[in-house]
């Protein structure tokens, strides 16, 4: 259930995968962001459906769905695997945003994405023996 980061020449790829390019081309219409509780419950159900541990925070975060932008409705795991540069952009832009243009639900969704990306990189960097 951990993300599989794409690599090229030993470096993690930040550019969009072919799947990400297809999703972007769909130009999804704006929709109201779900509440954090709705997103979390859906994620927990997805983890259980996939045979994962719904008590594993990283697995549940990985199944959270993005509530904004071109990749809306894609899971955080999918985003890390297919559009890591976009995930990095969202996380980096959070420090300069005032938050005034975002709904509270989107701000929470962005914070959870930040947490997931941080956890995923930390676990990916840990040596396993």
Q: Is 63 inside any structural domain?
A: yes
When divided into structural domains, the chain yields a total of 1
Q: Is 21 inside any structural domain?
A: no
For the chain (129 residues), the mean pLDDT of every run of 10, in chain order, is 87 93 92 94 97 94 95 96 94 72 82 91 54
Phi, psi (degrees; rounded to nearest 5) at 50: -85, 5
Q: Is 53 inside any structural domain?
A: yes
The whole-number pLDDT of residue 63 equals 98
Number of Cα atoms under 13 Å in the Cβ half of residue 20:
21
The whole-number pLDDT of residue 123 equals 60
Domain that holds residue 82: 38-125
The whole-number pLDDT of residue 105 equals 87
The whole-number pLDDT of residue 54 equals 94
Yes or no: say if 41 and 111 are a contact pair by the CB < 8 Å rule: no
Q: What is the pTM of this model?
A: 0.87
């Amino acid at each position: 259930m951990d993300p599989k980061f794409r690599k090229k020449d030993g470096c993690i790829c930040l550019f969009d995968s072919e799947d990400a390019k297809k999703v972007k081309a769909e130009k999804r219409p704006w929709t109201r962001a779900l509440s954090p509780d709705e997103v979390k419950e859906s994620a927990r159900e997805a983890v259980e459906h996939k045979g994962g541990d719904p008590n594993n925070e990283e697995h549940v975060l990985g199944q959270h769905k993005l509530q904004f932008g071109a990749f809306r409705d894609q899971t955080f795991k999918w985003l890390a695997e297919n559009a890591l540069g976009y995930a990095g952009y969202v996380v980096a832009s959070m420090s300069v945003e005032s938050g005034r243009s975002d709904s509270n639900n989107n701000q929470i969704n962005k914070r959870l994405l930040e947490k997931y990306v941080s956890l995923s990189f930390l676990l990916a960097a840990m040596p396993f023996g």
